[in-house]
DNA sequence: TAAGAAAACGACATTGTTGTCTGTTTTAGG
DNA sequence: CCTAAAACAGACAACAATGTCGTTTTCTTA
């Protein structure tokens, strides 16, 4: 009476399945992928897949749960400290590590949009969506407020609204990117424009 | 040998079905509604519904096609003339007739998002999405350029990018509204902020 | 190396939806 | 009022995807 396979093996397997799932979701989107797609991509049987995940929803949540993790780990103050300025910290939240506008977009973003929009009438998913929104919005607002206290920002508008504004705009870019493609929307230029608006709206010193 | 029912009757019926469909789509979203839902809501049989629409996609396209119509009908110049200023014309494009920011959102918007995001890998739908995007973006850009020529705007940024920016932001609001609800996102305040940004970015005279 | 426990397999029953098709009803013109 | 043509009804077959379950394989440990 002992575990049949090692814990590491199980985790490996799980990760392998998650990776296959990610590829499939990126390729087909959330609604259009089936468990069979994932099975095939991972080279595993029906039973093998269901051993680890109860259904597509479970699988997808596991996937986007892991990504979320990374962001939470680092505490906010430490992050601001590390970035050197509140402005840089702010840019980091929506531009990523490079802090530079690019034409690149999280390849899983379209599926996430699908997942939350399609599930907007489901209590569970809606709660989840709210959590994510509140988290993103919360981080942004906190950085802005800290920046004000540090004398780095002297905003012309309500920080609360500015924070929400950033989130909504980033979501908008994700949508348009998903629907018509990055080549059609001038993603980079639009992002640069957002930055200019923010610089003015926050009245960034320095 | 003569048409059995009058043309008006057919149109009436069709509209009746479209209206039932609209209600159902608003309630359940695009992906989650079935033809049966529409049949029940319209009080019509399977055969009755398929008489007019080949499938769900056909039905939905008919629905959003009609709405689109209204916007195209009015020529751009006439519209600007009617509004009195390019600024007002611009506001009209994304605020509607009232030209005032509100907490209201097109109730069909979430379904439209679903439809285009989910169908992003389908050639037909993608084309359709591009058309809609190009149209919205085109109208916006034309107004801005006309405004520049009229001396009403002296933009600080590329009009092309500003136009796209507006579209993306409005789409972003639609997403967040769909996902977490209008009460959670301060729709009105966010819209007001957009207007201020635009006023500054376009450098609106007067 | 044998035993036992869990992992992995794959067949299967179930379910929900779709689009078609045949029969019935309705309607307007002759 | 009769008839032809089209509208409408509803049964049905086909299909695709899901989750379960009994069986087989694999691995660990004693």
| Test the B interface: residue of A126, A160, A172 with most B CBs within 10 Å | A172
Give the pLDDT band (50/70/90) at residue A53. Answer: very high
CA B66 to CA A187: how far, in whole Å? 30
Domain assignment present for residue B22? The answer is: yes
Buried b (16+ CB within 10 A) or exposed e, B72-110: eeeeeeebbeebeebbebbbbbbbeeebebeeebeebbb
C-alpha B52: how far from chain center: 24
User: Cβ of B54 < 7 Å from strand C?
Assistant: yes
List of chain B residues whose C-beta atoms are within 8 Å of the C-beta of residue A64: none
Q: Give, as one character, the DSSP assignment of residue B150.
A: T
Contact status of B103 with chain A (Cβ, < 8 Å): no
Listed in sequence order, the DSSP H helices in chain A are 7-28, 35-42, 46-50, 56-73, 76-83, 86-95, 109-118, 123-149, 159-180, 182-185, 187-202
C-alpha A118: how far from chain center: 17
Other beta carbons less than 10 A from residue B41's beta carbon:
17
For residues A67 and B125, which has the higher predicted lDDT (pLDDT)?
B125
B86 & B48 share domain? no
Question: Which residues bind near strand D, taking a CB cut-off of 7 Å?
Answer: A 2-6, 9, 34-36, 46-47, 50, 54-56; B 1-5, 9-10, 13, 44-48, 50-52
Domain that holds residue B104: 74-202
Q: How far is the CA of B11 from the C1' of C17 (A)?
A: 28
Using CB atoms, pick whichever of B120, B162, B186 lies closest to residue A164: B186
Q: In this complex, which residue's CA is closest to the C1' atom of nucleotide D4?
A: B1
| pLDDT value, residue B69 | 66
Q: How many domains does chain B have?
A: 2
| Test the A interface: residue of B134, B165, B187, B188 with most A CBs within 10 Å | B165
Using CB atoms, pick whichever of B161, B174, B185 lies closest to residue A190: B161
Average pLDDT for A168-187: 96
The pTM for the full model equals 0.94
Give the pLDDT band (50/70/90) at residue A10. Answer: confident
A14 & A84 share domain? no
Which of B 149-168 lie inside 8 A of A, CB atoms?
156-158, 160-162, 164-165, 167-168
| pLDDT value, residue A72 | 65
Average pLDDT for A99-114: 97
Give the residue on B whose Cα is nearest the Cα of A116: B179
| pLDDT value, residue B3 | 57
CA A116 to CA A48: how far, in whole Å? 27
A126 & A185 share domain? yes
Residues A83-106: tens digit of each pLDDT: 999 999 999 999 999 999 999 999
A26 & A118 share domain? no
Residues B67-96: tens digit of each pLDDT: 776 666 678 999 999 999 999 999 999 999
CA A115 to CA A136: how far, in whole Å? 17
| pLDDT value, residue B73 | 61
* Res B59 pLDDT > 60: yes
CA A59 to CA A41: how far, in whole Å? 14
Domain assignment present for residue A60? The answer is: no
| pLDDT value, residue A73 | 60
B44 & B142 share domain? no
Using CB atoms, pick whichever of A167, A173, A175 lies closest to residue B117: A175
The CA distances from residue A41 to A19, A44, A51, A79, in Å, are 9, 8, 16, 38
| pLDDT value, residue B4 | 59
In this structure, what CATH number is given to the domain that contains residue A30?
Answer: 1.10.10.60
User: Cβ of A65 < 7 Å from strand C?
Assistant: no
Give the highest mean pLDDT range of A62-71, A144-153, B61-70.
A144-153
Give the residue on B whose Cα is nearest the Cα of A192: B161
| pLDDT value, residue B86 | 98
* Res A55 pLDDT > 60: yes
Average pLDDT for A176-195: 96
For residues A1 and A173, which has the higher predicted lDDT (pLDDT)?
A173
Domain assignment present for residue B159? The answer is: yes
Q: Which helix (H) or strand (E) holds A45?
A: none
* Res A67 pLDDT > 80: no
* Res A8 pLDDT > 60: yes
B45 & B82 share domain? no
* Res A143 pLDDT > 60: yes
Contact status of A57 with chain B (Cβ, < 8 Å): no
Give the pLDDT band (50/70/90) at residue B9. Answer: confident
- CA atoms within 13 Å, Cβ hemisphere of A57: 7
Domain assignment present for residue B116? The answer is: yes
Mean pLDDT for chain B?
A: 94
Contact status of B184 with chain A (Cβ, < 8 Å): yes
- B168/A175 CB distance under 8 A: yes
Asked if B71 and B92 count as a contact pair (C-beta separation under 8 A), the reply is no
Average pLDDT for B51-79: 87
| pLDDT value, residue A151 | 97
| pLDDT value, residue A30 | 98
CA B192 to CA B91: how far, in whole Å? 11
User: Cβ of A20 < 7 Å from strand C?
Assistant: no
Residues 6+ apart with CB under 8 A from B165: A190, A193, A194
Give the percent of chain A with pLDDT over 70.
94
Give the percent of chain B with pLDDT over 90.
88
A102 & A172 share domain? yes
* Res B57 pLDDT > 60: yes
List of chain A residues whose C-beta atoms are within 8 Å of the C-beta of residue B158: 189
| pLDDT value, residue B101 | 97
In this structure, what CATH number is given to the domain that contains residue B172?
Answer: 1.10.357.10
A84 & A7 share domain? no
Domain assignment present for residue B64? The answer is: no
Give the pLDDT band (50/70/90) at residue A206. Answer: confident
- CA atoms within 13 Å, Cβ hemisphere of A34: 4
A113 & A48 share domain? no
A176 & A112 share domain? yes
Domain assignment present for residue B169? The answer is: yes
A80 & A35 share domain? no
Give the residue on A whose Cα is nearest the Cα of B117: A179
* Res B160 pLDDT > 90: yes
Domain assignment present for residue A120? The answer is: yes
| pLDDT value, residue A116 | 98
Domain assignment present for residue B65? The answer is: no
B117 & B182 share domain? yes
């Amino acid at each position: 009476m002992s575990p049949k396979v090692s814990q590491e093996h199980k985790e490996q397997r799980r990760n392998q399945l998650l990776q296959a799932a990610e590829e499939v979701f990126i390729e087909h989107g959330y609604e259009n992928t089936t468990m069979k797609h994932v099975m095939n991509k991972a080279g595993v049987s029906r039973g093998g897949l269901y051993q680890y995940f109860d259904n597509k929803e479970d699988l997808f949540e596991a996937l986007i749960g892991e990504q979320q993790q990374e962001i939470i780990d680092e505490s906010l103050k430490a992050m601001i400290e590390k970035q050197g300025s509140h402005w840089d910290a702010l840019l980091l939240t929506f531009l990523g590590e490079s802090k530079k506008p690019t034409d690149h977009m999280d390849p899983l973003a379209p599926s996430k949009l699908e997942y939350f929009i399609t599930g907007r009438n489901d209590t569970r998913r809606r709660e989840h969506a709210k959590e994510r929104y509140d988290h993103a919005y919360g981080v942004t607002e906190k950085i802005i407020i800290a920046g004000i206290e540090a004398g780095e920002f002297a905003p012309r508008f309500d920080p609360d609204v500015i924070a929400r504004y950033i989130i909504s705009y980033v979501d908008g870019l994700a949508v348009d990117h998903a629907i018509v493609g990055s080549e059609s929307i001038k993603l980079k230029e639009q992002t640069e424009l957002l930055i200019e608006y923010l610089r003015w709206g926050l009245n960034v010193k320095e």
